[in-house]
Amino acid sequence: MNWDHASVFEALARRFPDLVTHTDTYHFVAIFAPQSPQCAHLYAPTSRVNADFPLHLHPGKSSWNTEEYNKILPAIEEIKLHIGSNRRPSDTWIRCKVDWADFAECLGL
């Protein structure tokens, strides 16, 4: 299969239908479960969030899973640190650009 942003998002949404968040501003799905609070999610290709870096990770959240992160690490091509306007640690995320085929393989899609 030729994986792209949309096909990976759709496969994850089918795998984790209870972990899809869709509001007027955000549309994303968690990339592993369980995860509460959400610490690793992929924004939809139609989301208003930066399309070039749609995978968002937050290692500081209590639900962070290092094993899951190590699984996806080979697919991450580039990262950016995003610090929220209020500068709270809870609003600091790692935004990632991924290789879609590698990401799908790492996730077992």
Tens-digit pLDDT profile for residues 57-107: 998 888 889 999 999 999 999 999 888 767 666 678 899 999 999 999 999
- Domain residues for the domain of 95 are 5-107
Digit-coded pLDDT (tens) for 32-50? 888 777 899 999 998 877 7
Count of structural domains, the chain: 1
Measured in whole angstroms, how far is the alpha carbon of residue 14 from the centre of its chain?
15
| pLDDT in the model for residue 90 | 65
Alpha carbon distance 28, 39 (integer Å): 12
Encoded amino acid at 14, one letter: R
Alpha carbon distance 9, 19 (integer Å): 12
| pLDDT in the model for residue 56 | 94
Alpha carbon distance 47, 28 (integer Å): 8
> Domain holding 91: CATH number?
3.90.1150
Sheet architecture: strand order including 55-57 = 20-22, 27-30, 40-43, 55-57, 92-98, 76-83
| pLDDT in the model for residue 98 | 97
